[in-house]
Amino acid sequence: MSQVTQIAQPFNSHIPTESYDAIVVGGGHNGLVCAAYLAKAGKKVLVLESRHILGGAAASDEIFPGFTFSVYSYVVSLFRPHIVRELDLTRHGYQVIPLECTFTPFPDGESMTRCGDPEATRREIARFSPTDAEVAPRFSLAMTQMASFIKHLIDSPAPDLTALRISEVAKLLGLGRRFKALADGGKYVFTKLMTMSAVEFLNLWFESDRLVGPMSVSGIIGTFLGVRSPGTAYVLLHHYMGEIDGAFRSWGFSKGGTGGVSLACARAARSFGADIRTQAAVEKIILRAGKAAGVVVRGGHEIKSKTVISAVDAHQTFFKMIGAQHLDADFVQQLKRFKYRGSSAKVNLAVDRLPDFGCKPGDGPHLRGDITIAPGVEYLEKAYDDAKYGNFSERPFLDIVIPSLTDPTVAPPGKHVISIFVQYAPYHLKEGPEQWPAKREALGDTVVDTLAEYCPDIKDSILHRQVVTPWDLEQDVGLTEGNIFQGELSLEQLGPFRPVSGWSRYQTPIDHLWMCGSCVHPGGGIMGAPGELAAKTLLKSS
Amino acid sequence: MPIPTPFHDRTASLCTSHRWTDWAGYCAVCSYNLPNDSEYYALRHAAGLIDISPLFKYEVTGPDAAAFLSRIMTKNIEDIPGGRAVYCCWCDDFGKIIDDGTVFRLDKDRLRVHTAEPMLAWFKQFKRGFNVTLEDMTAKIAAVAIQGPTSRKILRQITDVDLDALAYYRVLTVQLDKLPVLISRTGYTGDLGYEIWVENAAALPLWDALMSAGKPYLLQPVGLDVLDIARIEAGLMLNGVEFHNAAHCLVELQKSTPFELGLGWTVDLEREPFCGQRALSAEQAAGSRFAFVGLELDWDEQQALYAKHGLPVQFNRGAWRSGVPVYNNDGSRQIGKATSGTWSPIVKKNLALASVETRYAQNGTVLKIEYTVEYRRETVSAVVAPMPFYNPEHKKT
Ligand SMILES: Cc1cc2nc3c(=O)[nH]c(=O)nc-3n(C[C@H](O)[C@H](O)[C@H](O)COP(=O)(O)OP(=O)(O)OC[C@H]3O[C@@H](n4cnc5c(N)ncnc54)[C@H](O)[C@@H]3O)c2cc1C
């Protein structure tokens, strides 16, 4: 909190009266990145964030005294390294500590620990499948190759398929050239990725369910799809293309929680002169002669601006802040077809000791990384089945991290925070989404019960529990239907189709209104890319 | 064959990687784990425990102790009040560096000197006329460094002494978990940290006390590989890498002076005679030929070199000290050498320590450094940058 107040002021403490070159609606990390680039280019920028803290879905908060939770997102990988350089973010406190391990406990008392020591990992996998053990490094190599191929795509605006301008064709050709340059094996892999389900794709490599199960979950994170749904293979790649210091696929903890990334972006924006305000909910985007000309903040304050850049999702922007009556019917139809249908929740625990896994007792490197409760494909499919009929999974997929084992700033000495990402928790409960508050603690119990099957003493160690449902994501962060990525990251909603085909290039049908959040290319995750690309495109256009 | 340090029983059981090196005749851990990233991050975000027992340690006692060391060192040791530590170096008659290290003034008549190389014989040469005794304590005293942002909190668990009063470069005799130790607010990581000096017999109880007090603060044992990254980030030089003991050099070219190494601030010229004084005065008047600088390698150019081969940038794990040429901006002439370097995970830059001709030493000067990609020798731009590269506020507060 105190850190936030040094960077941003509450809106009411001193209401801005001047007019701005650009107002950024939403102080999530993308809004802040966008503001930083614009301010760096000399623009007069105002960021308006509705909450009392910055960061949106990448925020840290001391929910229980002494314990700082990464309330929503919890690990960092996708954040673009060149943004760190261009905005000098290390100077502003950007610090990411890589995770050491992936640990998968199984219900039969077995477990698998994959870590940075390749030989140890090979021996570990070989306990279940000697072939898989040998194939695993080849799979990693293929994915690294894919990630470096795709990196170019996420680091530039999506090719615009509707405008057949020379530059666009060149861009597609550029991609084609890169595709040609891929080794033959690489082309094959890419084609499979674009068409298959996560499980089918992984089965091309691996035979053991103990590997395929936990690996396939990257294909469903944030989607209302199952690991066997077509198209989920590509989503795998979205989670593999992150890098830390050149190591693709590595994820890390942001010091002080994922809010640390947002605060670093905010400090950079401040250093370039941007004005950042919290507790400033934008109610309306002002249109003058059909063009965006400013915003109205809750309380009725109007602020003028030459450009408005929305960092919130398309639904909130167009239906809440603009109004369908100002939009072309076809555009409205397309916006309505854009899928949100959130399916994930978060449980954060403050505990007085480390969890003790029955299948791998005591402390060790296995607790310092990613702990995945996804013991097999069938388990995941069952979890999805529950969701299809409007229930949260009786036994959900859990992705667990204990950042306090690596970052001493997030919990008192000897105590820990446990962050649990949960899927499926569908926004659309069969009783209706508004029933979520009544079901919140039941979901919390299910999650703790699931974990307790692997570490029975977990229940006694809990000092505080926070449950964040999709409903809460919508209410608190403005994520429509609680979708963690401001819109599902499925193949048909990526690149030139995000959020609406023809409008993937940060501009909107409303003149002077731009978009820079996760709902535009290249999409969700703590990545900074939508914010950066929007700012760069805008600067180029003016 | 290297021999164990007094901490060996503990370090050996923790060294799961079995990666050891010889440090001044002792077995020293390169890295406890494989990979050793967690050691680096412990050092930078929590705390690391490093066995530094192989350092050479000399006790100088007697009424002339400070005067005697002032005769040897570039720094005027007589000026240093009790309870203080200083970093300094010492030279031969020609002002060429012999070694660097720390000097602790325990009290008026008792000082400790810590060196990278054996120095008994060198120091003894200056004894005539001074009322001092010189004792080699190397094999009698064990030492560990506890470094990193949580180091002070850890020590607080096992001592009643007010550690906030132990300012940067101060020394104090205290009890840690009832063990009498000497503790100094010094280190080789450029972060908050302490070095603890203890009789051999108390070494293992001290290690155990630190490790158990440190657990809730995420203390980890840290090997020399990671220390090497940290010291480069801190802009700290290493004997045998950034410079060579002049007494071991065959030719002048291999020697360097404190001024050339950026250690001018440790040279007190206006005082009683000391070894190398005349040469150093002359050098100060005339200017030095070389200067010690930090370099940051240009990212885009590195990336472009890899891209030529269709590769993403490859990151070397750990520090290098193989030494590469440094050229002027257009690459037409070699104007220096980079002696060691590393990718810095915390600064997110490729860094190097270098010695360049003085006129190329201004911050912001763009030079070229040799850079090999896929067995091809190339160059990339490197800008002279202020050091330390990493300098957290908590280092001195
Ligand atoms: C539970 C969860 C777990 C996740 N886990 C990960 C993970 O581990 N790793 C990862 O990389 N990604 C993860 N993600 C995704 C990632 O966090 C998001 O994609 C990313 O943070 C979105 O950033 P953004 O700036 O685009 O949008 P947001 O973070 O959504 O920012 C939008 C901002 O706008 C504000 N706002 C909304 N309405 C208004 C208004 N009317 N006026 C003013 N301000 C308004 C909101 O409060 C918010 O601060 C997760 C997301 C969630 C929800």
For B316-327, the pLDDT digits (tens) are 889 999 999 999
Strand partners of residue A25? A48, A310
Indicate the length of chain A as a whole number: 542
Dihedral pair phi/psi, residue A3, rounded to 5°: -65, -40
- The ranges assigned to domains in chain A are 2-58+77-97+255-339+484-541, 123-250, 341-477
- Residue B207 in domain: yes
Residues B302 and B328 in one domain: yes
Residues B151 and B30 in one domain: yes
Query: What confidence score (pLDDT) does residue A156 get?
Result: 87
Residue A185: half-sphere exposure toward Cβ, Cα within 13 Å: 9
- Residue B241 in domain: no
Residues B30 and B160 in one domain: yes
- Residue B249 in domain: no
- Of the residues A46, A50, A79, A422, which should be mutated to test ligand 1's pocket, given the most ligand atoms within 8 Å of the CB? A50
- Residue B167 in domain: yes
Dihedral pair phi/psi, residue B75, rounded to 5°: -100, 150
Is residue A170 very low, low, confident or very high in pLDDT (cuts 50, 70, 90)?
A: low
Residues B107 and B38 in one domain: no
- Of the residues A223, A312, A317, A516, which should be mutated to test ligand 1's pocket, given the most ligand atoms within 8 Å of the CB? A312
Residues B198 and B266 in one domain: no
- Residue B21 in domain: yes
* Distance from chain centroid for Cα B100: 9
- Residue B68 in domain: yes
* pLDDT(B137) > 60: yes
- Residue B235 in domain: no
* pLDDT(B12) > 60: yes
CATH of the domain at B319: 2.40.30.110
Say if ligand 1 is within 6 A of residue A479 CB: yes
> What is this structure's pTM?
0.95
Dihedral pair phi/psi, residue A412, rounded to 5°: -65, 155
Is residue A165 very low, low, confident or very high in pLDDT (cuts 50, 70, 90)?
A: low
Say if ligand 1 is within 6 A of residue A78 CB: yes
Residues B383 and B296 in one domain: yes
> Are the C-beta atoms of B230 and B188 separated by less than 8 Å?
yes
- Residue B380 in domain: yes
Residues B302 and B385 in one domain: yes
* pLDDT(A164) > 70: no
CATH of the domain at B151: 3.30.1360.120
Kindly determine whether residue A368 and residue B215, on different chains, have CB atoms separated by under 8 Å.
Answer: no
* Beta strand extents in A85-217 (DSSP E only): 96-98, 101-105, 111-115
CATH C-level class of A2-58+77-97+255-339+484-541: alpha beta
Say if ligand 1 is within 6 A of residue A495 CB: no
> Are the C-beta atoms of A399 and A131 separated by less than 8 Å?
no
CA of A44 to the centre of ligand 1 (A): 24
Residues B195-213 have pLDDT tens digits of: 999 999 999 999 999 999 9
User: Which residues, at least 6 apart from A361, have a Cβ–Cβ distance to it below 8 Å?
Assistant: none
Residues B386 and B295 in one domain: yes
Residues B20 and B128 in one domain: no
Query: What confidence score (pLDDT) does residue A1 get?
Result: 46
Domain A341-477, CATH: 3.30.9
DSSP string, A221-249: TTSS--TTSTTHHHHHHHHHS-EETTEET
Residues B65 and B195 in one domain: no
* pLDDT(A190) > 90: no
CA dist., res. A359 & res. A357, Å (int): 5
- What average pLDDT does this structure show over B276-284? 98
The residue from B222, B243, B268 where one domain ends is B222
Q: Which of B34, B314, B346 sits opposite A95 (nearest CB)?
A: B346
CA dist., res. B275 & res. B269, Å (int): 11
Print the domain residue range for B315.
290-393
Q: Is A245 on the interface with B (CB under 8 A)?
A: yes
Residues B261 and B193 in one domain: no
- What total of structural domains would you count in chain B? 3
Find the closest chain B residue to A92 by CA distance.
B347
- What average pLDDT does this structure show over B22-45? 96
* Nearest residue to B315 (alpha-carbon basis) of B377, B387, B378, B373: B373
Residues B101 and B154 in one domain: no
